[in-house]
Structure 1
Amino acid sequence: MTEQKKDGQESEARRLRRELFDDAMLDKLMAATDERGVALTGEGGFLPEMIKAVLERGMETELTGHLGYERGDPAGNGSGNSRNGTTPKTVGSEVGDIALDQPRDRNSTFASALVPKGSRRLGGLEDMIISLYAGGMTIRDIQHHLAATLGTELSHETISNVTDAVAEEVTAWQARPLEAFYPVIYLDALVVKIRDGAHVSNRAAHVAVGVDLDGVKHVLGIWVQASEGAKFWAGVCAELANRGVKDVLIVCCDGLTGFPEAIEATWPAATVQTCVVHLIRASMRFVAYQDRKAVAAMLRPIYTAATEDAALMALTTFADSNLGRKYPAAVASWTNAWDRFTPFLAFGPALRKVIYTTNSIESLNYQLRKIIKNRGHFPNDAAAVKLLWLAIRNIEDKRARERAKQAGKGKDRQSIPRLVEGATVTGWKAALGELALIYPDRINRNL
């Protein structure tokens, strides 16, 4: 459902409210609740009583339709079925618990569509629970939050069942078919804490983001493993290929040993580009704080060089300098990664900006890390994947709302509405033009 349709529905609901409850009536209601000390939400609140009245009236209307005659109508005599009192039922809602008197029929054939059998929550509450969970709150935190803000008491099992209901969606998303061609794919990992018996251990959540021909970034999948390793990444690449990815032009990754070989085993024609930012960080690990600014200044001519020869000259200059001799390990970081760094130097400025860093995935990981930090640790791998997926969905929903607002102001921002980080890569048109010159056959056959 598009944002425009949602806005249309809200506008219609707003018009209906004004027709039935004008502002004067609402002012009178607010004054009366203040005067009598009645809360709007929570236990004993006015809104739960209002919803109770509407739901019970609606269920009575449903029962009348089911039986085929009004209450007290003689037409019901000898019909074979009749009203049979009510059954008490409490449902949770966004405004508090609501105690309902659910009508029933003598033959027990009536089923309300408004409040289905077995339902203990109204729809909006489930969305709220999932949203809170996606924000990093634990089930115990959600229990406390709902009780404190809405006066709704839900069991640990109930909240767990609500969050587990998305498990099938996660599985389907993880196995969904992918496009055959992505010009650029970013691969990276972030650390999550998983409970293993009596201990909590660190594991790597591997994330793959693909950029399609329109420059839109898609989260292709999430995988949790004991550690980030080239062998596991090889399995990730093979899975992506099995889900439909036949060709990739450039794969951006960190400097993990064996990583390039793992990628090339699946996509032999792919150019593997070591993330320049990862490379800078790796070399800076060996540099004392007081020298970092000076070393960074000497590294800059290497990755901004116009050609590989110019970059090699800048690296030699750094190696022969006092700082280079002081920090030989920093020089070695660049020397060891040189073959995987130099493809970057063959590209034009627009494409360099796209592959200079795995920032497209790093920005997503930054937001995911905040949620993981709030959550602490997870009971198992599946719980970690579920939360990360929900978090990605929430991030994209927020981006979609922002894009809808921008579109309303005349700004054209087209992208797929969900399950993607959402934004189009900055400067993508120029970068795609450069890719078309470098890889004409592979680009043109996929346009």
Structure 2
Amino acid sequence: MKATGNGDSFDLDARYPTPDATTYGGAQQWKENGRTVSRLVRLAVPRLPTDGHKPVVYAGTGSAAELAKVDVKGALVLLRPTDICTTTCDVTALRQRVAAAAAAGAVGALVAGQTDRITRAPALTCANGPDSCPQVDPYAALPIVTVSPTAAATLIQRIGGGAEPGVQVVLGGTSEVSKAYALGFNTTGRIPGSLPYRVLPSDLDRVEHRIHADRPGAVPYFSWTRTTTSGPAPVQMNLPKPFTQPQLTTLVGPRDDNAIDHFELSVRDYLAPSVARASGPAEAQDLALDRHNTVDWNAGPSLPGAVPQARTKSGITINTGLPCAGCRDANQFWPNLYTTSSAGGRQTMVGIVNDQFGVTQFLWGMQTCAPPACPPAAALRALLVWPPSGAAAGTSDSAGVRRLLETGCGAGGSVRVCCSGDRGRAGA
């Protein structure tokens, strides 16, 4: 965006509260047959138009008295709410002032400062089931854009402290984030005295993420991390969370032929405006990247399938699942088996059976299958105790898994137990 009028034009480095298309708005909960049922609230973050221009007026802190002094109809209202926004911002109070500006006819709010505008809402109890849930309030009544204190001071000076005509903002940019950078710099050995990192286009691999869905939905979780010859990255990067159905590009770097890049994404279908399913498909994909790559998420039906390990040209690979390696059904051993999308992304491991404690549903969002053929406590030990005695962590040999399960239920038991390699992302 650019500010014009009453002086030379200048770029307005304006930022939305978050690059995500939606933000966490809490949850709705009620009881059904003694069981807690919940739905996820994802609030769309309103955006300004991407072209045209709008006049700007200044309304001080945005109090009712200050707002009444200016005509905000059809304009962007500039606020400097120093009474409620210091190092952090009272988002509830800010929303109230923005709502008042919307009622007076404003089309957007420019808020001076560099403070956090995101809040985490609590879970709301719906006493009489889903139909009794209160109406979900929007994230804000108007698009809220943060501008720097310096830019705000320049605008206020040009406006003349009130509503002097002539100062406008030329709109631009995009309504959704369509491109993001995912960069990780690994330095082995001693820390160098100088770290002059500079990334050029030739240093980046392009990954096109296509997020499939039959209906509109939200992406509550999207992340990237990288494993190199030095080991896995110490931190995980959260990527912008778009709506479902569009495409998002990540530019990953710096290029490393011995790196495996790990992406995770989950999808929630909307059941009502701003209200989505509490759980939904969660996928993980490991990639040895080329220059140009395409990843399909939530594509096609979920079916049992093998998940091949990503492998670099030099032969580096990583495990596809933790913490267990397979399942035993009586005298038959099954290696890792996942539900996968038609694009091959692994979703959840198939086969956690005989769980009377709800561990499976709580941790991974999977439904259990059958009652145990051995004492429940023993089945739980078989699920959680890994590695078995004498086996190295991460081992995948069938004998080690057989010893593990026999420890839990005995050699003659018919219990089938295995572990999931991926946790479903049920929250924000």
TM-score normalised according to structure 1 size: 0.31
Q: Which has the larger share of helix? A: 1
Q: Which has the larger radius of gyration?
A: 1
TM-score normalised according to structure 2 size: 0.32
Q: Which has the larger share of strand? A: 2
